[in-house]
C-alpha cells in the first residue's frame, strides 16, 4: 500500500487537532497541523498536487514579503494590520511547505528579492498589497479544481477565504467598496 500524505490545512487551529486525532496512527504527521491520508492513491496524482502546492507556496512567499515591506512603510493601526496579515501569510507558508515535505518533495524557496513598485505613500502601499492579494485569490480559484486531494481542496479554500478577507479589509482601508463582487475573483 502506498502511503500518501496530504496537507489538511489549518495549522494551529483546533480543527487540525481534531482531524489529526481522527486520522489514527497510520497516517499523521506531527503537531504542525499537517494531517495525513493513507491509501492506495497514486503517486502521479500526488506529484501533480506537489506542483500545485509549490505554486501556492510561491504566492504565499510573495505575500509575506509584501506585508513585510508594507509594515515598513506604514505606521500605527495600518502597520499593525500589515504585521497581522504577514503573520497569517507565514502560517500559510509553513503549512504549505510542510505539506510538500509530507509528500516527499522539496518546497520551493522564497526569492531573495521581489520587484517592488514605487511606494511613495500609504495609498501606494495599500494598492500594492491589494494587487498581491488579488493575484493570490485568482491563483487559488484556478488551482482548487486541479487538486486531486479532496482534503487539499478544502484547505486551499480556507486559505482563499482568508486572502479574500484581507482584500476586503485593505479595500476598506483604501476607501474603496470592500466587497464589490458577489463572486470573489470576478472582475479583479
Partner 1 sequence: MAGITRRVALRNAGGVTLAASAAPLLAGVRTAFAAATGDEETMLGAVRLEQGLVVAYRTLAGSSALDADAAALARHFGDQEQAHLDAVSKQLQTLGGVVPGEPAPEMVKAGRESLNALHTQEQLLAFAGALETNAIAAYYEAQQSLRRAEFLQTTAAIMANEGQHLALLREALHREPVPNAFETGQP
Give 28 or 108: the residue with its C-beta nearer to partner 1: 28
Q: Residue 128: helix, strand or coil by DSSP?
A: helix
Told to check if 166 binds partner 1 by CB under 8 A, we report: yes
Least distance to partner 1, CB of residue 54, Å: 19
Told to check if 35 binds partner 1 by CB under 8 A, we report: yes
- Beta carbons within 8 Å of 89's beta carbon, 6+ residues apart: 60, 63, 64, 67
CA–CA gap between residue 137 and residue 131 (Å, rounded): 10
Told to check if 110 binds partner 1 by CB under 8 A, we report: no
Cβ 103 vs Cβ 49: under 8 Å: yes
CA–CA gap between residue 37 and residue 23 (Å, rounded): 7
Task: Tell which one of 92, 100, 101, 108 touches partner 1 (CB under 8 A).
Answer: 92
Residues 122-161 that bind partner 1 (CB under 8 A): 137, 140-141, 144-145, 150-151, 153-161
Task: Tell which one of 14, 25, 44, 120 touches partner 1 (CB under 8 A).
Answer: 14
CA–CA gap between residue 92 and residue 10 (Å, rounded): 9
Selection from 87, 91, 86 nearest residue 132 by Cα = 86
Least distance to partner 1, CB of residue 55, Å: 16
Give 78 or 84: the residue with its C-beta nearer to partner 1: 84
Least distance to partner 1, CB of residue 118, Å: 27
Would you give the DSSP letter of residue 184? Answer: T
Task: Tell which one of 15, 48, 105, 110 touches partner 1 (CB under 8 A).
Answer: 15
Least distance to partner 1, CB of residue 110, Å: 18
CA–CA gap between residue 165 and residue 185 (Å, rounded): 12
Selection from 33, 102, 84, 89 nearest residue 59 by Cα = 89
Give 3 or 123: the residue with its C-beta nearer to partner 1: 3
Would you give the DSSP letter of residue 27? Answer: G
Contact set with partner 1 (CB under 8 A): 4, 8-15, 18-19, 22-23, 27, 35, 37-41, 84-85, 87-88, 91-92, 95, 137, 140-141, 144-145, 150-151, 153-169, 172, 178-179, 181-186
Amino acid at each position: 500500500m502506498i502511503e500518501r500524505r496530504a496537507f489538511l490545512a489549518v495549522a494551529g487551529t483546533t480543527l487540525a487537532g481534531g482531524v489529526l486525532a481522527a486520522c489514527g496512527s497510520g497516517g499523521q504527521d506531527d503537531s504542525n497541523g499537517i494531517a495525513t491520508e493513507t491509501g492506495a492513491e497514486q503517486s502521479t496524482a500526488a506529484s501533480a498536487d506537489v506542483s500545485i502546492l509549490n505554486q501556492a507556496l510561491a504566492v504565499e512567499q510573495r505575500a509575506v514579503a509584501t506585508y513585510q515591506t508594507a509594515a515598513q512603510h506604514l505606521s500605527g493601526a495600518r502597520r499593525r494590520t500589515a504585521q497581522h496579515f504577514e503573520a497569517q501569510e507565514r502560517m500559510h507558508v509553513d503549512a504549505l511547505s510542510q505539506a510538500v515535505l509530507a509528500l516527499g518533495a522539496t518546497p520551493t524557496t522564497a526569492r531573495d528579492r521581489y520587484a517592488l513598485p514605487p511606494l511613495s505613500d500609504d495609498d501606494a502601499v495599500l494598492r500594492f498589497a491589494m494587487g498581491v492579494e488579488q493575484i493570490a485569490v485568482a491563483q487559488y480559484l484556478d488551482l482548487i479544481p486541479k487538486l486531486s486531494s479532496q482534503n487539499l481542496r478544502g484547505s486551499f479554500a480556507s486559505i482563499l477565504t482568508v486572502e479574500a478577507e484581507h482584500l476586503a479589509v485593505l479595500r476598506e482601508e483604501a476607501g474603496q467598496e470592500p466587497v464589490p463582487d458577489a463572486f470573489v475573483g470576478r472582475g479583479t
